[in-house]
Amino acid sequence: MPDETSNQETGRAQCPHSLGDVDLFAPGAPEYWYEAYDILHAESPVHRLPGEGFAPGTDGFILCKHEDIAAVVRDQDRFPLPGAMMVEQLKQRGGDPFEIEGANMMMAAMTTLRPNPEMWRTHRQELTDPWVGPGATRNQAMVTAVANELVDRWIERGSVEFVGEFAQPLPQMVMANILGWPLQDLKLLKYFGDGTVKPFVYGSGHRSILPEEEVRSQIEVLNEFREYTDNLIKEKRRTPADDMITFLTEVEYSPIERKLTDNEINGIVYAMVIGGLETTQYALAEQVQLFIERAGVWDEVRNDRSKLRAFTEEAMRLRAPTQGLSTRITSQDEVFHGVEVPAGSFLHLRWAAANIDPDEWDEAQALRLDRKAGTRHLTFSQGARVCPGATLSRVEQMAAWTVLLDKVAAFRYAEGNTFKHQPGIMLAVEELHLEFDKA
Ligand code: HEM
């Protein structure tokens, strides 16, 4: 853990001791998020961010209660997505949203493929579920092969940098295989992935806003991403294969009774890349730390593999990769736990805090392999807009740990770990140097 005095000298966030110290978005704040959640739960579970609202003159609010967030994500009329409003504005402006300078392809594709909440479900069922939703179980053997390939690169060494040599490449290789992205261009996939998530890492405040010069450099990367993907889609149309991009070139999408355009497919690939790489990386990196730190859990799961699923769910509950998102607004005046939240406010949904809400969970901070209904955590959100890649991520986690539990007898920390996290809104440890005994 980082020490507090050095932080005082550099002006970075310090470990909060009272509500006045809490700032979830300050530089260095990720080191102390969980200390901050305890304070927010005790004193301010609906926490005002003055002047940070969606409409001018309104405020933002951090929601920490499980009950509040679960209610918000289940009601799309009262709590629309700001993205959905931008889609509506794009539509009203007319013209071709794909031609806007620096178009976010995912957002642009939303204008035609799911302009309203009814079409969200169909979009998911027909376009992404077969590959990364419930249909993701088809990827099990491939994911296991990827995990084995990665582990075999370092298993004889007795030490590993777990993030760079396992947690990060695994979802990259899996996503490449699913999409039909050439494995020799894996570095490009990472480069484009880093470009898509840039605001979540280098953005500031609860809205993850990038400085102007960073926006420009992001647009350049996204343009390259778009061009590369465009060529790949054309290639798949010429030479179909058994992969998601080929599928998207062939499928007829029922609400619009036609096949998808190249631009629309490009938007879906963008969504897979922004959602499907780093999130699972962070889940795996947190899980190995919990295995090392929570005494007895590794052996218990190793000896009884039927407990592995409970472990991965508890780990995602205790250490949510996506800690929070400012992803809903209020369309009317609301009251949460006695706090008035006017229409036009921005809601920052703090999934990670809700996951340890003492009113929702017994022994909220304990990792319990016998927890009832453990999957009600909010790590993937809930409701109609629940993460469409949740099944794939679960398949990846289960396959990864099945391979690791087979091949490794025990992990421990090597010397020299700082446990430093990347900036932004994700719980992302930068490196993890581990030693292990081979099974
Ligand atoms: C542990 C891993 C993951 C976590 C923690 C995670 C978390 C989330 C969360 C919290 C949301 C927001 C839902 C909302 O606003 O209500 C989301 C949306 C999304 N996720 Fe995931 N996710 C993960 C893995 C994946 C994977 C593997 C994929 C793709 C294969 C993916 C694709 C997406 C997409 C495309 C969206 C946006 C939904 C939309 O706007 O249509 N995610 N995810």
Phi and psi at residue 148, to the nearest 5°: -60, -45
Atom 27 in ligand 1: residue holding the nearest Cα: 276
Q: Which residues pair with 349 in a beta bridge?
A: 63, 325
Pocket test for ligand 1, best of 76, 387, 391 (most atoms within 8 A of CB): 387
Inter-helix orientation angle 169-179/140-152, to 10° = 140
Mean pLDDT of 86-107: 72
Superfamily of domain 45-438: Cytochrome P450 (1.10.630.10)
CA-CA distance, 247 to 250, in Å (whole number)? 5
- The beta strand positions in 6-115, using DSSP E, are 46-49, 60-63
Angle at 279 between CA 366 and CA 356, to 5 degrees: 25
Does the CB atom of residue 392 touch ligand 1 within 6 A?
yes
In this prediction, residue 19 has a pLDDT band, given cuts at 50, 70 and 90, of very high
Residue recorded with tokens 């579970």: 45
Atom 37 in ligand 1: residue holding the nearest Cα: 387
CA-CA distance, 405 to 428, in Å (whole number)? 23
Does the pLDDT of residue 4 top 80, yes or no?
no
CA-CA distance, 382 to 375, in Å (whole number)? 10
The two structure tokens encoding residue 193 = 């992935």
The pLDDT value recorded for residue 410 is 96
Does the CB atom of residue 114 touch ligand 1 within 6 A?
no
Interval between CA 126 and ligand 1 midpoint (Å): 17
- 351 Cβ contact partners less than 8 Å away, ≥ 6 residues apart: 69, 320, 322, 323, 324, 325, 377, 378, 379, 381
CA-CA distance, 240 to 248, in Å (whole number)? 11
Mean pLDDT of 142-169: 98
**Percent with pLDDT over 70 in the chain:** 94
Does the pLDDT of residue 190 top 60, yes or no?
yes
Interval between CA 159 and ligand 1 midpoint (Å): 32
Alpha helices (H) in 239-261, listed in sequence order: 244-250
State the sign of the Cα–Cα–Cα–Cα dihedral 363, 366, 370, 374.
Answer: positive
Mean pLDDT of 130-138: 96
What tens digit of pLDDT does each residue of 115-132 get? Answer: 888 888 999 999 999 999
Does the pLDDT of residue 391 top 60, yes or no?
yes
Does the CB atom of residue 285 touch ligand 1 within 6 A?
no
The pLDDT value recorded for residue 112 is 84
Which amino acid belongs to residue 189?
A: L
Helices and strands counted in the chain (H then E): 19, 11
User: By mean pLDDT, which of 106-110, 229-233, 242-246, 297-301 is the weakest?
Assistant: 106-110
State the sign of the Cα–Cα–Cα–Cα dihedral 181, 187, 193, 196.
Answer: negative
Does the pLDDT of residue 8 top 70, yes or no?
no
- 366 Cβ contact partners less than 8 Å away, ≥ 6 residues apart: none
The pLDDT value recorded for residue 101 is 67
The pLDDT value recorded for residue 102 is 66
Pocket test for ligand 1, best of 380, 382, 391 (most atoms within 8 A of CB): 380
The pLDDT value recorded for residue 10 is 58
Alpha helices (H) in 63-104, listed in sequence order: 66-73, 82-93
What tens digit of pLDDT does each residue of 300-350 get? Answer: 999 999 999 999 999 999 999 999 999 999 999 999 999 999 999 999 999
Q: Is 171 helix (H, G, I), strand (E, B) or coil?
A: helix
Length of the chain: 439
Which amino acid belongs to residue 237?
A: R
- Counting from 1 in the atom list of ligand 1, the atom nearest the Cα of 385 is 16
The pLDDT value recorded for residue 87 is 67
Interval between CA 424 and ligand 1 midpoint (Å): 17
Interval between CA 384 and ligand 1 midpoint (Å): 12
Does the CB atom of residue 13 touch ligand 1 within 6 A?
no
Residue recorded with tokens 């806007």: 100
Residue 69 vs residues 200, 226, 272: alpha-carbon distances, Å: 20, 34, 24
Does the pLDDT of residue 170 top 70, yes or no?
yes
